[in-house]
Amino acid sequence: MSVWLAIGIGSKNSQGEWLEVYYPKNFINPSEQIRIKAKELIGYQEGNFTSSIPKELNEELIKISGSFSSLKEGRGLVVVVDSKIPPSDVPSCYLRLHLLSHRLVKPNEINLVGIFNLLPTVAWTSDGPKDPRELNEILSEKRINNESIHVHSLDKFPCLTDYVIPEGVRIADSHRVRLGAYLGEGTTVMHEGFINFNAGTLGKSMVEGRISQGVVVDEGSDLGGSSSTMGTLSGGNETLISVGKDCLLGANSGLGIPLGDRCIIEAGLYITAGTKVEMIKSNNKVEEIKASELSYKDDLLFIRNSLTGTVQCKPNPKTVNLNEELHSNN
């Protein structure tokens, strides 16, 4: 499916510009009757389209959820996106991020080109999202009225759990998982773990390291404390990095190539595409190659020789098994 329709509730700044939009899950691709009526009322033809909620449609929405009766004018909207083409405005960006975090699409399956330029930097506060340009006035007003407000962050992306609560996951520090992250059921994200938008885990995983934009970690893998995966947002890397099934990235290790299944990178070792690796074969013959030549290969153990400092790779005889008790996230 490439075309999605959703009913959202958003916030604007004093200039009437969208800051963010929340899409209730049951109003993302609602019933066919609602979708057909909505498209007719807003005059949808193709591509991305954003409209206020027509009065006739709002009456239908109130029948489904009575809370829509108290929705203030100008906050509700109907958004249609074609996920094959780039987003065109803030509402279409936020719908794409919701699709990822609701597990309706997987990372790298939808078009997110230009999302950084479209999303405004927002002050995420205890009093809701605010425009940073208006924040000083808001802070003064709160103080004068003997009220307080806490600014959690100034960022283009909010934290996941303010918008989506994925089933069967555990997140120790919700500020370290952005909206747009894809968390497979059974995923545990510890305090040092971080998951960016358009990235995540496909199933039961332990995340104590960083999963950068575009990176996908398959089921059964463990990213050790402060380990790192190389994303594609900056630094010139254009290769999508992935971690296969049942892999282990040791503490403080790093990954810059797509990893196959059942692979281990020892603690403190950073593997990039250009890293020179001594490949030790099963017959103990040694061949020097670039790490990129080992992309997607299964059953590999990457280590650094403690005497010579040489990066070595050999067949991995071990199996990574996650602690089942840590991933029964009911």
Beta-carbon contacts of 149 under 8 Å, excluding residues fewer than 6 positions away, are: 125, 126, 127, 138, 139, 142
User: How far does CA 181 lie from the centroid of its chain?
Assistant: 2
Q: Is the pLDDT of residue 330 over 60?
A: no
Q: Is the pLDDT of residue 59 over 90?
A: no
330 or 72, which is more confident = 72
Q: How confident is the model at residue 143 (pLDDT cuts 50, 70, 90)?
A: very high
Q: Which domains does the chain have, with CATH numbers?
A: 3-119 (3.30.70.2010), 123-155 (no CATH), 160-327 (2.160.10.10)
The pLDDT value given to residue 282: 76
Question: What's the predicted TM-score (pTM) here?
Answer: 0.94
Mean pLDDT of 230-238: 73
Cα distance between residue 248 and residue 17, in whole Å: 45
Tokens of 35: 């979708």
- The answer to whether the CB of 94 falls within 8 A of the CB of 21 is yes
Q: How confident is the model at residue 206 (pLDDT cuts 50, 70, 90)?
A: very high
The pLDDT value given to residue 266: 97
The pLDDT value given to residue 234: 62
The pLDDT value given to residue 258: 97
Beta-carbon contacts of 313 under 8 Å, excluding residues fewer than 6 positions away, are: 277, 278, 279, 280, 291, 294, 300, 301, 302, 303
Tell me which DSSP letter residue 157 carries.
Answer: S
List pLDDT tens digits, range 100-141.
999 999 999 999 999 999 999 999 999 999 999 999 999 999
Residues annotated as part of the active site: 208
Q: Is the pLDDT of residue 284 over 90?
A: no
